[in-house]
Structure 1
């Protein structure tokens, strides 16, 4: 157990209350952390009783959301925080044991860094690992050009950096984490940890699967932070960035078993963009 008495991390779990079995697993993974943490569940009034009970079972606070939307819920949970660090976790995602301590220690060692990120396991609806995302430090460079290998579950943000660059953009539905990470990268940089920090669950009702145009919003976000010359040359470097991203992704996901490869193919089919995107 950590010898720290006061929490240095506030973690927000936004939830609509419609995935209670995943929420229980999510909150249990937070409760198992060695790092003291202020955990806050934020959800709608219609599910308040169930969410409040779940939060209480796992030693979390509960807030009724002021406005609808994932970004608004996370921002509400972050407001008023006095902890040194902030993060959030989807109610269907998980933290690995020791995740918060590892990222907190990494940021303590790098006072100029705005955020820490690491490896991520992609899991399916039945908790089976599809593959492990191993982005490496190279991901923080490729990240600028719309190729997002920086997973949100397990990432940790310096509160002062978030206050400086601003919280999540409520206008975004799918790429709010990408947008925040790009701003934090510009505002202090990123620290990479070569260990699995969390699990990202892909299932039929997740935002990743229900997003009809996976690359559309992310590409629009990317353009917010590019210079005029880079934007003007986008038709030339965009295919190259995608090619590098594809090769890098294949390297990160090498060594898959036949079963895991089939699971990955099934997920790719379910998340393929529709015509017209």
Structure 2
């Protein structure tokens, strides 16, 4: 395949999830029908994670140690002639054929971003829910929750370069900020096909962190609203905040229930 359809796949890791890193990298390496440049951003002292990355013939980049956004930016800086960009966490996975499906979609529709459905899986790789918001995710992006599953999306690298790197001042919603900038560049398109899996950790997000994440998202969304609408933003922030907390709680309960059943 020519570079016209190739994908830069970045996997940032702190080297702490070596039990899932191999599966994440294997899911990228096993993608068929598309050329993939696999880049792993990892701290210099994470020896085991670097060994795993080498086993999967990944390009290894030192973590700049300025947070997740900086790590993803470091991965993007390692691009060559790839046309598209994808990144997944070190415990997420791509589904077979996922990247090919997204590349076909983004090229057919001449879009800026393409995304698909995303499984939610627990620590035992059991799927307990599916994120399949489709085009509705794009419609509510500016004011509602971010329903675009990052592991299940690809973006044109040219458009990322045009809007600038991920914002390194953001801790939780760097993807939302990037998507809102990219919306000004062109269309977002979706497919109901499941193209990735996101591992849900029911105990990873404390209530405090969730509140901080929601507050950060509200600040970002307000920034991209037209000036006359910004004073009205609190009117819909409260119901969105409530909806996010309800959905997150339900997902955590499902994940915990799966754990109890497997014991």
Aligned equivalents of 2:58, 2:116: Cα separation in 1? 25
What is the 5 A alignment of 1:85-124?
A: 85-111=84-110, 113-124=111-122
CA displacement at 1:223 relative to structure 2: 1.0
Contact 1:165/1:183 (8 A) holds in 2? yes
Corresponding residue number in structure 1 for 2:261: none
Distance 2:153 2:26 in 1: 18
1:263 equivalent among 232, 246, 254: 254
Shift of 1:156: 0.2
The CA distance in 2 between the partners of 1:210 and 1:129, in whole Å, is 27
1:204 Cα deviation from its structure 2 partner? 5.8
CA drift of 1:240 comes to: 5.9
TM-score by length of 1: 0.82
Q: Mark the CA change 1:210 to 1:70 in structure 2 (over 3 Å): closer, same or farther.
A: farther
Q: Distance in 2 between matches of 1:85 and 1:174?
A: 23
SS of match in other structure, 1:68 = coil
Q: Secondary structure at the match of 2:9?
A: strand
In the alignment, which of 182, 185, 191 is matched to residue 183 of structure 2?
Answer: 185
Please report how far the alpha carbon of residue 145 of structure 1 lies from its aligned counterpart in structure 2 after TM superposition. Answer: 0.4
Aligned to 1:273: none
CA distance, structure 1, for counterparts of residue 255 and residue 105 of structure 2: 31
Please state whether the residue corresponding to 1:153 is helix, strand or coil: helix
8 A Cα contact 1:203 1:209, kept in partner: no
**CA separation of 1:231/1:265 partners in 2, compared to 1, >3 Å: closer, same or farther?**
farther
Q: Distance in 2 between matches of 1:125 and 1:44?
A: 24
Mapped contact 2:10–2:86 kept (Cα < 8 A): yes
Conserved in 2, the CA contact under 8 Å of 1:95 and 1:153?
Answer: yes
Distance in 2 separating the partners of 1:240 and 1:53: 46
Do the aligned residues in 2 keep the contact of 1:174 with 1:207 (CA within 8 Å)?
no
**Structure 1: gaps of 5 or more residues:** 250-255, 268-277
**TM-score, length basis structure 2:** 0.86
Match of 1:232 in 2: 231
Asked whether the equivalents of residues 214 and 241 of structure 2 are also in contact (C-alpha less than 8 Å), the reply is no
| Number of aligned positions between the proteins | 251
Mapped partners of 2:60, 2:206: distance in 1: 26
Give the Cα–Cα distance (whole angstroms) in 2 for the partners of residues 143 and 53 of structure 1. 39
Kept in 1, the 8 Å contact 2:200–2:252? The answer is: no
Distance 1:95 1:45, change over 3 A: same
**Residue number among 77, 92, 97 corresponding to 1:79 in the alignment:** 77
Shift of 1:148: 1.2
* Distance in 2 (alpha carbons) for counterparts of 1:27 and 1:145: 34
